[in-house]
Amino acid sequence: AGRLFHPEDSIITVGGRTIGGKKLAIIAGPCSVESREQILEVAEKVKEAGAGFLRGGAFKPRTSPYSFQGLKEEGIELLKEARERTGLPIVVELMSPDKLDLFERDVDVIQIGARNMQNFELLKAVGKTTKPILLKRGLSATIEELLMAAEYIMAGGNENVILCERGIRTFETYTRNTLDLSAIPVIKKQSHLPVIVDPSHAAGIWWMVEPLAKAAVAVGADGLMIEVHNDPQNALSDGNQSIKPEKFQHLMESIREIAKLQ
Ligand code: PEP
Ligand code: MN
Check pocket membership of 201 for ligand 1, CB cut-off 6 A. Answer: yes
What's the domain range around 206? 3-261
Q: What pLDDT, on the 0 to 100 scale, is given for residue 220?
A: 97
Confidence check: pLDDT of 111 > 80: yes
Q: Is 138 in the pocket of ligand 1 (CB under 6 A)?
A: no
> From the alpha carbon of 57, which atom of ligand 1 is closest?
3
Contact 176 CB / ligand 1 (< 6 Å): no
- Do the Cβ atoms of 195 and 186 come closer than 8 Å? no
Best residue among 31, 59, 177 to mutate for probing ligand 1, ranked by most atoms within 8 Å of CB: 31
**Single-letter amino acid code for the residue at 240:** N
Contact of 164 with 196, CB cutoff 8 Å: yes
* pLDDT value at residue 42: 98
Answer yes or no: is pLDDT of 12 > 80.
yes
What percentage of the chain has pLDDT greater than the value 70? Answer: 99
Average pLDDT, the chain: 97
Kindly state if the Cβ of 30 falls inside 6 Å of ligand 1.
Answer: no
3-state secondary structure of 110: strand
Nearest ligand, CA of residue 27? Answer: 1
- φ/ψ bin of 16: left (φ > 0), alpha (ψ from -120 to 50), beta (otherwise): left
Give, in degrees to the nearest 5, the angle at Cα 129 between 81 and 58: 35
Output the pLDDT for position 259.
81
pLDDT on residue 241: 98
The set of residues, in sequence order, having a beta carbon less than 8 Å from that of 104 and lying 6+ positions away, is: 129, 131
Tens digit of each residue's pLDDT (9 = 90 or more) over 160-199: 999 999 999 999 999 999 999 999 999 999 999 999 999 9
Tell me, what's the ipTM? 0.99
The answer to whether 143 and 150 are in contact (CB under 8 A) is no
Closest to 187 (Cα-Cα) out of 145, 250, 143, 219: 143
Residue 112 main-chain phi, psi, to 5 deg: -110, 120
pLDDT digit string (tens) for 60-87?
A: 999 999 999 999 999 999 999 999 999 9
Ligand 1, residue 31: give the atom nearest the CA. 3
pLDDT digits (tens, 9 = 90+) for 188-223: 999 999 999 999 999 999 999 999 999 999 999 999
Give me the numbers of helices (H) and strands (E) for the chain, helices first please: 9, 10
Going by DSSP bridges, is the β-strand pair 109-112/90-93 parallel, antiparallel, or unpaired?
parallel
* From 3-7, 35-39, 205-209, 241-245, the region with the lowest mean pLDDT: 3-7
Q: Whose CA is nearest to atom 3 of ligand 1?
A: 31
- The finding on whether 31 has its CB within 6 A of some atom of ligand 1 is yes
Q: What is the pLDDT of residue 258?
A: 87
* pLDDT for the residue 25: 97
Q: Which atom of ligand 1 is nearest to the CA of 238?
A: 3
Q: Are 126 and 112 in contact (CB under 8 A)?
A: yes
Contact status, residue 232 vs residue 206, Cβ threshold 8 Å: yes
Our CA angle for 203, 204, 206, nearest 5°, is 90
83: Cβ below 6 Å to ligand 1? no
68 burial class (0-12, 13-18, 19+ CB within 10 angstroms)? middle
CB of 166 within 6 A of ligand 1: the answer is yes
Residues ≥6 apart with Cβ < 8 Å to 145: 117, 118, 138
pLDDT-derived band at 261 (thresholds 50, 70, 90) equals low
- What is the pLDDT, as a whole number, of residue 70? 98
CATH number of the domain to which 46 belongs: 3.20.20.70
Domain count for the chain = 1
pLDDT at 260 over 80: no
